[in-house]
């Protein structure tokens, strides 16, 4: 190592500029999309799980007990959303927080909201891709076809309800710091958040259970999506499901924002 040099007049540095938001977003989105596409676990959760449920609900004759064909397609869609948001998104956030990825990003000029918004947009894109694949599969393999109007309305409702499950994912990442614990908690959270909703249109466990199930987060989304798949049947229950979904989204997102910490310590 050399001796310390005396402080001399340094070369004149070129002025730095603050990056534009569009530049920051472009960089973040490109990286986050790449991460999503390379994450095998995320891809499996995004596409395989809802397709398996779709075929299971239609292959088994007892699946009809749960509801009409559109209800069952909506249930598979809801599972896809729940998997992407609760297991995929929240786990990635917790893991990156533990590794210090967020702290590294936060020392750049990227405002913190852009870091999270970019990740959420990628999840919404993944959910839309999953919905498209599932609806095409439902048309081709189980005979549930939608009109163009129904496709459009379903996609709008998918985007709307993705806010609910991403809100849940954010809340879980806010409340549970450790990635390992979150993995376990996420699986348990599946029961009240998704599985319970499967019985929202069935009285096999009685009327009270049906009511609870119908207005659970998963049940609400299934009701909303099954209504969107058949616009002519959109009724007061569907409107109510829309309102309840919005309320759930606000509550979960509020918890996620209030208790979220960027660092693991």
Partner 1 sequence: MTSEAPPVTGLALQVKDLRVSYGPKRAVDGVSLDINEGEIFGLLGPNGAGKTSTLSAIEGLLQPTSGSILIRQVDVRAHPVQAKALIGVQLQSTSFQSELKISEIVKLYAGLYGVPLSKPAIFDRLTEIHLGDEASRRFSQLSGGQQKRLSLLIATVHDPPLVLLDEPTSGLDPQARRQLWDRIQGIRKSGRSILVTTHSMEEAQSVCDRVAIMDYGKILTVDTPAGLIEKHKNDPNVLAVARGQVTLEDVFIGLTGRELRE
Contacting residues toward partner 1, per CB under 8 A: 1-21, 23-24, 26-28, 30-31, 34-35, 38-39, 96, 99-101, 103-111, 263
User: Which token pair is 53?
Assistant: 């449920």
Q: How near is the Cβ of 218 to partner 1 at its closest, in Å?
A: 29
* Residue number, 94 or 146, with CB nearest to partner 1: 94
**CA–CA gap between residue 235 and residue 243 (Å, rounded):** 13
* Residue number, 1 or 188, with CB nearest to partner 1: 1
**CA–CA gap between residue 129 and residue 145 (Å, rounded):** 17
Q: How near is the Cβ of 190 to partner 1 at its closest, in Å?
A: 25
* Residue number, 110 or 242, with CB nearest to partner 1: 110
Residues 43, 92 contacting (CB under 8 angstroms): no
* Residue number, 106 or 258, with CB nearest to partner 1: 106
Q: How near is the Cβ of 3 to partner 1 at its closest, in Å?
A: 7
**CA–CA gap between residue 262 and residue 254 (Å, rounded):** 16
**Tokens 């509550």 -> residue:** 251
* Residue number, 192 or 263, with CB nearest to partner 1: 263
* Residue number, 34 or 181, with CB nearest to partner 1: 34
Strand segments (E) across 122-263: none
Q: How near is the Cβ of 17 to partner 1 at its closest, in Å?
A: 5
Q: How near is the Cβ of 43 to partner 1 at its closest, in Å?
A: 11
Q: How near is the Cβ of 11 to partner 1 at its closest, in Å?
A: 4
CA distances to 114, 165, 169, 185, 232 from 260, in Å:
15, 16, 11, 16, 41
Residues 228, 153 contacting (CB under 8 angstroms): yes
Q: What is the DSSP string of 203-241?
A: -TT-HHHHHHHHTSHHHHHHHHHHHHTSGGG--HHHHHH
């Amino acid at each position: 190592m050399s001796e310390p040099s005396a402080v001399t007049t340094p070369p004149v540095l070129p002025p730095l500029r603050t990056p534009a938001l569009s530049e920051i977003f472009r960089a973040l989105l490109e990286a986050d999309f790449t991460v999503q596409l390379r994450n095998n676990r995320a891809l499996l959760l995004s596409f395989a799980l809802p397709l398996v449920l779709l075929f299971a609900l239609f292959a088994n004759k007892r699946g009809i007990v749960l509801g009409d064909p559109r209800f069952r397609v909506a249930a598979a869609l809801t599972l896809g959303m729940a998997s992407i948001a609760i297991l995929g998104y929240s786990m990635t956030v917790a893991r990156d927080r533990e590794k210090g990825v967020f702290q590294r990003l936060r020392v750049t000029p990227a405002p913190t909201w852009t870091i999270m918004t970019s990740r959420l947009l990628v999840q919404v894109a993944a959910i839309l891709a999953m919905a498209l694949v599932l609806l095409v599969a439902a048309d081709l393999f189980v005979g549930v076809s939608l009109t163009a109007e129904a496709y459009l309305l379903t996609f709008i409702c998918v985007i709307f309800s993705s806010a609910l499950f991403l809100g849940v994912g954010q809340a879980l990442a806010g409340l549970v710091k450790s990635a390992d614990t979150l993995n376990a908690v996420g699986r348990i959270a599946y029961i009240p958040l998704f599985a319970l909703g499967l019985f929202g249109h069935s009285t096999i466990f009685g009327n009270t259970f049906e009511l609870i199930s119908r207005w659970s987060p998963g049940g609400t989304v299934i009701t909303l999506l099954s209504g969107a798949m058949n616009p002519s049947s959109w009724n007061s229950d569907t409107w109510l499901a829309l309102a309840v979904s919005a309320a759930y989204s606000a509550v979960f997102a509020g918890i996620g924002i209030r208790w979220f910490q960027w660092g693991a310590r």
